[in-house]
Amino acid sequence: MNTHTLIERPLYLKRLVQMKDLPLIKTITGVRRSGKSTLLNKIFFQHLVESGTREDHVIRINCESREFLKMQRDEIFEYVSSRIIDESPHYLLFDEIQEVEGFDRLVNALMVDLPVDIYLSGSNSKLLGKELSTYLSGRYVEIAMLPLSFSEYHAHVRDTMDEESILMTYLQSGGFPLTIGLDDEKRDIILDGIYHSVVMKDIVERYDIRDSNLLTNIVLTVYSAIGSMTSPAKLANTLTSKGYSASLVSVRNYLDYLCSSFILYKCRRYSIKGKAYLDNVAKYYAPDLGLRNSILHYRQGDVSRLLENAVFIELTSRGFSVDVGQCDAYEVDFICRKGADLFYLQVTMRLDPPEKLEQKTRSLLRTGDAFDKYLVTMDRVLFPMLENGIKVRNIIDFLLNPFS
């Protein structure tokens, strides 16, 4: 397979196209190497040109490149200003904008003074959100980008493997675009580089962290039990029992940094009947299963947890807000919302034995409402709906098309 083939990202391109020319700053955030630069500088650029935009009306700036790395914000403003040809819209594509000191003021000045439609990418949601909200409150929108979801991965490799092999390979190797088609050794080198660049550059250096060992052990602990309910206090106690100096404040801050840099995704617990979020307990998921498995050195894990993580990635990539449901003493794996749409979902490897099926359906039935309820499984589905109205879907079919 040609690993340099451009991998299309239609879900994200569609969102950019929908917001094109609106008077909003478009920010694309996500873990490093998830494809933000390719989306902006190749896929979206190609769309602009094919839609009739002149190439000299698209200005691309990579703030980590040598050409722009030493530029101050005023110099970048002058550079952009010198590229403005006329009063028709110019499309300004910034990569890793957070590397420019005072970028919020720069973006504000560009938006006010020049005929530009601005698109930003960055690897830290907290920084972008905090800085932009100062000058641009209500005038920017965030697109959160992940590595390839299963449906995106499947579209790229479907001619090389059968369906079940694609799923198992995805659960093992993940979907970072740079790693697709590589052998295990090369893939692990890239994944290790991604992880350490995020930890050292986006977290340790940015937040002046002195105990990077604690940070790494938080990641290892959470990744080992992906999808399990946890809290900062529980993590602090676990790490303290293993001999680490782990205060509650440090663990809470480190979890926040890891989520802001997209090494972890937090899935909060929500009371279905109380209609409110509950305490500090939450589930955490990895942005990419290959990254998670590589960091853990491919220790044998619970496949059902990997399936759950894959479903979380797919739903998040499709723009759903995802929470963990709490209904009395029962748990619903996912509450999924997008606009007025809402549905509940349980993930299970198998429908047998009967008590396992009863356990998984019990939580869904306790919600007491009429929203759609799904049971997603690795089993081949003979009956698409149970007698109680719960829809049953094979996981591959669901990941490829949740609403077929």
Q: Quick count: other Cβ atoms within 10 Å of Cβ 398?
A: 25
* 82 touches 74 (CB < 8 A): no
Give tens-digit pLDDT for 195-210.
Answer: 999 988 889 988 999 8
Residue 288 included in any domain:
yes
3-state secondary structure of 62: strand
Are 250 and 282 contained in the same domain?
Answer: yes
Residue 3: predicted pLDDT: 46
Residue 270, pLDDT score: 96
DSSP string, 264-297: SEEEEEEETTTTEEEEEEEEEE-S-HHHHHHHTT
Tally the domains of the chain. 2
DSSP assignment letter at 97: G
In the predicted structure, residue 2 carries a pLDDT above the cut 60? no
Beta-ladder partners of 375: 346, 392
Pairing of strands 372-377, 391-394: parallel
Per-residue pLDDT reduced to its tens digit, 69-92: 889 999 999 999 999 999 999 999
Same domain, 177 and 132: no
Among 144, 170, 198, the domain boundary falls at 144
Kindly state whether residues 189 and 330 are assigned to the same domain.
yes
Are residues 136 and 177 both part of a single domain? no
Number of H helices, E strands in the chain: 17, 12
Q: Which two tokens stand for residue 5?
A: 């083939």
- Residue 300, pLDDT score: 65
Mean pLDDT of the chain: 92
Q: What number is the average pLDDT over the span 240-262?
A: 94
Residue 226: domain span:
150-400
Q: Report pLDDT for 381.
A: 84
Does 120 reside within a domain?
yes
Q: In this structure, are 89 and 66 located in the same domain? A: yes
Asked, for residue 1, whether it belongs to a domain, the answer is no
pLDDT for position 183: 94
Asked if the model's pLDDT at residue 138 lies above 90, the reply is no
Q: What is the mean pLDDT of residues 130-156?
A: 87
Q: For a pLDDT cut of 70, what percent of the chain falls above it? A: 97
